[in-house]
Amino acid sequence: MVVTRGDLVVPVLLTGELAADKSRMISAPRTETFALSIQWLATDGAEVKQGDRLVAFDDTALLDSIAGRELEVLDADNELANLRAQQAVEVAEKRFAAREAAVEVSKTQIDASVSEQILSRMQYSEYQLQLGRAQLARDAASTDAKTASSGAKLEDQVKELAYDKAVRKYDAAKREIAALTITAPQAGVMIVPDNPFEGRKLQVGDTVFPGFTVAELPDLTVMVVRAVLSDVDDGRVHPGMKVSCILDAHPTRKLSGLVRSVSPVAREPERGSVRRFFAVVIELDQTDQSFMRPGLSARAEVESVRRSDVLLIPRAALAQGQDPLGIVAQLEDGSSVPVELGPCDAHQCELLSGLEEGARLGLAPVSLEVDPAQPPDEEPAK
């Protein structure tokens, strides 16, 4: 082993899975029953065409209620028809009475039109009184006819509103039943989302609520890697860093990309977990649909530290010195030399001082456990 000169790259290892950059999320519908039970679910990863069934919910409760809604519509329709028939009779009677009163006025007008000089004062006054009474009766009958017609219209509107309300409720129930079967709005691959309460994929028999994502149709033209960063590595990964990804299903294919984003808050991966992770999105340089599928597990190496043209010393030649804070390098002749180190990867460290390039080294009795994740801006170990 010798001290060499070269480039040092300290990676941060992330695990994640391949995912579509954009997906069409399909949610559970809003129904009268609120909570819905999944009765049928398409296979996770199945290729679907537009119009294919994705999810079907249990419709037993709605089928029971729609029969009652239909009876309400029939009752409201019968009440409206009966009311209109009754109103037609009442209005016709009032109008007939008004016409009779008008005829009576015409009759009394004949008698009242006789000259006062021909009749006695008493007879003339009686004819005038009869005319006045007939006119009052005519006016009252005409008012009753108009009032009956207006009242009939108002009652008709009330019953018609009740009928329309019953029809709307019935139509809404039919739409809810139709919405319980979700079909694919476009061709793609069916992705079954996770059940956050159970820590697994959704399955038949699970209960979901309105707005709950029950299916996902990803856009496979642009793929990303959604990885997780342990909270103990906070600050070691930033947007813009270069990344090299390998899919576990295709270990010979290396994918390059950049870190697009790192979530600002670490969250638990599942309920009750003591671990915390930051969500990391890695944007890949290219997407090959021939072998890249959502859900494939992936490993990513993020270049958190890069040193160019620096002295490199193997970690196998390093050991802890007598000083608890000191590090020594084991030489080929068996002696040791104190050294100053920069960041390290799994096999070698940056040598800041203590030895020159080409120095020959020996295997340390106990190799030094140096944190390969030591940030470059920290003071190097001494």
Residue whose tokens read 């000259």: 115
Q: In angstroms, what CA-CA distances link 20 with 17, 32, 216, 257, 295?
A: 10, 34, 10, 15, 9
376 pLDDT higher than 60: no
> Is the C-alpha dihedral spanning 352, 354, 355, 360 positive or negative?
negative
Instruction: Provide the pLDDT for residue 54.
Output: 93
* Residues 6+ positions from 88 with CB-CB distance below 8 Å: none
Instruction: Provide the pLDDT for residue 20.
Output: 87
Q: Are strands 348-353 and 340-344 parallel, antiparallel or unpaired?
A: antiparallel
Instruction: Provide the pLDDT for residue 378.
Output: 45
* Fold assignment, 23-57+180-218: OB fold (Dihydrolipoamide Acetyltransferase, E2P) (2.40.50)
Residues 56-86: tens digit of each pLDDT: 998 887 777 777 788 888 888 888 888 888 8
- For Cα atoms 230, 19, 274, give the angle at the middle one, nearest 5 degrees: 25
CB atoms within 10 A of CB 270: 13
Residues 185-198: tens digit of each pLDDT: 988 888 898 887 78
Task: Name the residue ranges covered by the structural domains of the chain.
Answer: 23-57+180-218, 61-178
**Taking the model in full, what pTM does it have?**
0.55
CB atoms within 10 A of CB 314: 19
370 pLDDT higher than 80: no
Instruction: Provide the pLDDT for residue 56.
Output: 92
> In whole numbers, what is the pLDDT of the chain averaged over residues?
84
Residues 3-56: tens digit of each pLDDT: 999 988 888 889 999 988 888 899 998 887 788 899 999 998 888 899 999 999
